[in-house]
């Protein structure tokens, strides 16, 4: 009996051994290579390779924006967080909190993001390693964090405010990501750039002390650099750190080579924003086994974006406008192609300081009186004043309500009928060419009465008013050219007869941007062909020309009136302000009311040369006591520069 049980037991054990041996053989012989591959894969470390942003250049290839080598100071997240806790506790102490109560309050605030626990673990580990109580460990680490950031500011001659601002932004962004994800995120365990754009001397200074600085390191980096500083700042635009919305909406969020990282910059204004997809490169990747490269995918740098701007002309015009007593804008277009040669707005700001110099950035952001961030050339609309009278004339001629010989009476300021003419004594019985030359309000008010509001505003819209003209710039305003339905909805009133009269002379319900006025003038100079302005050379296929229903003889008559504004000794608005020493300039002044006594929007728009127009310009000065005639010398100087630079062939 016992022998049978022993045999059964041995058979059972043997069967188990056979099963295990079979399993072992299967693992070693059949699946051995698979397991070896898994082990091998675990030994391979993936590393992302940085790319670089593409350059922005002008029409002659001069660099307007580029990435350049520099150094950066990176500091561990927990160091930044601990110093922020110190600063927040100090603020609470000022409010009357005791030291322990302040710490408790801040830790309660940090609890939802798991960062109170993150700091607590660090402090406990440090305390055990150095045989310190938790309170002493916290105190020492806080002192080290504060000394690290103070020393960094001292060695780089940066302000603590700049470092604190960068740290606070990093922490806020990381906490937002942590809240969205719901668990510890990599950003909470990494180091972050708190000072960028450091030069070689800064790096040398920091490296002398970096071993004593807690959680700090100096690394090679790149920064966005703008060689012309404030010139064309509104056009070029700027970059800024990726925000939470961009991270959430990133269509490449699952692609490690294409997705945005929280520490990356993105275009936030101007061409930097408009051409983000072109300028942005593609990261590479590298697989390492025991420090040796296994595979590599090289990064692809961003492409170069070429603008139609001439930075030389842009700089000259910026200096010219900056020398005026009032803010303003200027636009220069190449008539045959619609290319934007210059697009100026004053005041300007330094692209290299904005976002890096905390004090400078705050001053720019809070300057509500001057609004230096505003691109007045495309993003602000103004009453265009008499610059639209040539359009009113073309509307009247094309609709058949006036002829070249139609005469209307002008009684000047004594006329009871509004809008009154600016002339004290009036112009008497006046025809169209003289009305353009003298900028007679009465003539165009009579024309508006015959046209009616809807037809007149339709012609203004046909020349580009009321919608973005297509300058390919973020923030481009459309101006205002509302139809009767819009006025009824928004102003809750019908159209009155005075509305058409006001629009006819560039007041009332009509508003336009400088680039819209420049393009309308280019359309007149181009024999009635509307062509959207071109700023990015690569977007030429987006330009769709549109022929307006205007007759050549009507265009010739209007252009003749614009010629007489500058060149006829009888002109009351332009002749006395012009030097007439260069290519023949034709144009129209405008003086728009602002509702403030003694302050006007001074306009001038024109084209040159007369026979074969190559250049169209528009100028506006804000809140000036002078009229549009004051802009004529600037226009003449611009035409002279265009001749010098080869944009006009006489």
pLDDT in tens, 516-532: 999 999 999 999 999 99
- The reported pLDDT for the residue numbered 50 is 80
> Rounded to 5 degrees, what angle do the CA atoms 562, 567, 570 make?
95
Confidence at residue 51, expressed as pLDDT on a 0 to 100 scale: 87
The DSSP element (H or E) to which 107 belongs, if any, is helix 99-110
Q: What is the pLDDT of residue 1?
A: 55
Exposure b/e, 103-142, CB count within 10 A at least 16 = b: beebbeebeebbbbebbeebbeebbeeeebeeeebbebbb
Q: DSSP per residue over 469-517, as a string?
A: -----TT----B---HHHHHHHT-S---HHHHHHHHTT-TT-BB-HHHH
Q: How far apart are CA 512 and CA 618, in angstroms?
A: 11
Kindly give the interhelix angle for 514-525 and 552-567, rounded to the nearest 10 degrees: 120
- Mean pLDDT throughout 359-377? 94
236 has pLDDT over 80: yes
Which of 242-256, 416-430, 462-476, 614-628 is modeled with the greatest confidence? 614-628
Domains of the chain (ranges, CATH numbers): 49-306 (3.90.1310.10), 311-346+378-644 (3.40.710.10)
Long-range (24+ apart) CB contacts under 8 A made by 368-371 are 370/327
Q: Is the pTM of this model over 0.75?
A: yes
Q: Please state the rounded mean pLDDT for residues 107-113.
A: 85
User: In this predicted structure, what is the pLDDT of residue 377?
Assistant: 97
590 against 14, higher pLDDT: 590
């Amino acid at each position: 009996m016992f022998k049978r049980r022993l045999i059964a037991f041995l058979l059972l054990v043997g069967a188990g051994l056979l099963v295990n041996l079979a399993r072992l053989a299967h693992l070693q012989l059949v699946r051995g290579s698979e397991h070896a591959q898994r082990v091998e894969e675990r030994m391979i470390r993936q590393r992302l390779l940085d790319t670089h942003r593409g350059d922005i250049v002008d029409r002659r290839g001069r660099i307007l924006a580029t990435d350049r080598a520099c150094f950066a100071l990176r500091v561990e997240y927990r160091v930044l967080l601990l110093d922020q806790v110190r600063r927040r506790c100090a603020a609470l102490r000022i409010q009357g909190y005791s030291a322990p109560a302040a710490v408790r309050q801040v830790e309660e605030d940090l609890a939802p993001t798991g960062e109170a626990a993150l700091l607590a673990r660090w402090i406990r580990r440090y305390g055990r390693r150095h045989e310190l109580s938790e309170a002493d460990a916290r105190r020492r680490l806080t002192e080290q964090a504060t000394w690290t950031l103070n020393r960094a500011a001292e060695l780089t001659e940066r302000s603590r405010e700049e470092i604190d601002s960068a740290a606070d932004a990093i922490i806020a962004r990381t906490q937002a990501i942590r809240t969205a994800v719901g668990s510890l995120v990599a950003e909470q365990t990494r180091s972050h750039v708190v000072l960028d754009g450091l030069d070689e001397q800064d790096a040398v200074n920091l490296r002398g002390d970096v071993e004593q600085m807690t959680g700090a390191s100096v690394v090679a980096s790149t920064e966005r650099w703008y060689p012309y500083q404030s010139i064309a700042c509104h056009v070029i635009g700027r970059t800024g750190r990726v925000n939470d919305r961009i991270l959430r909406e990133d269509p490449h969020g699952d692609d490690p080579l294409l997705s945005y990282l929280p520490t990356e910059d993105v275009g936030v204004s101007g061409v930097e924003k408009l051409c983000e997809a072109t300028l942005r490169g593609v990261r590479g990747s590298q697989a390492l086994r025991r420090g040796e490269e296994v595979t590599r995918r090289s990064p692809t740098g961003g492409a170069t974006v070429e603008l139609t701007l001439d930075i030389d002309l842009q700089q000259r015009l910026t200096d010219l406008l900056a020398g005026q007593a009032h803010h303003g804008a200027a636009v220069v277009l190449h008539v045959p192609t619609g290319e934007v040669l210059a697009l100026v707005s004053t005041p300007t700001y330094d692209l290299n300081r904005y976002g890096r110099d905390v004090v400078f950035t705050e001053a720019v952001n809070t300057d509500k009186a001057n609004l230096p961030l505003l691109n007045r050339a495309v993003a602000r609309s103004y009453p265009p004043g008499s610059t639209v009278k040539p359009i009113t004339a073309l509307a009247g001629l094309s609709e058949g309500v006036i002829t070249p010989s139609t005469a209307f009476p002008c009684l000047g300021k004594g006329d009871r009928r509004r809008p009154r003419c600016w002339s004290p004594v009036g112009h008497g019985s006046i025809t169209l060419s003289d009305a353009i030359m003298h900028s007679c309000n009465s003539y165009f008010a009579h024309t508006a009465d015959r046209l009616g509001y809807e037809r007149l505003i339709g012609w203004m819209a046909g020349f580009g008013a009321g919608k973005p003209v297509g300058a390919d710039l973020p923030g481009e305003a459309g101006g205002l050219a509302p139809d009767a339905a819009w006025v009824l909805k928004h102003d809750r009133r019908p159209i009155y007869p005075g509305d058409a009269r006001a629009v006819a002379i560039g007041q009332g319900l009509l508003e336009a941007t400088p680039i819209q006025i420049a393009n309308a003038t280019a359309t007149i100079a181009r024999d009635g062909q509307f062509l959207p302005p071109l700023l990015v050379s690569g977007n030429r296929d987006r330009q769709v020309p549109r022929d307006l229903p205007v007759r050549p003889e009507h265009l010739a008559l209007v252009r003749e009136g614009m010629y007489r504004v500058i060149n006829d000794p009888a002109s009351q608005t332009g002749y006395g302000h012009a030097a007439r020493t260069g290519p023949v300039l034709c144009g129209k002044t405008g003086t728009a009311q602002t509702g403030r006594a003694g302050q006007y929007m001074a306009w001038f728009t024109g084209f040159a040369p007369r026979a074969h127009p190559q250049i169209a310009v528009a100028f506006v000065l804000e809140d000036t006591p002078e009229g549009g005639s004051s802009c004529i010398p600037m226009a003449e100087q611009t035409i002279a520069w265009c001749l010098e630079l080869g944009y006009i062939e006489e």
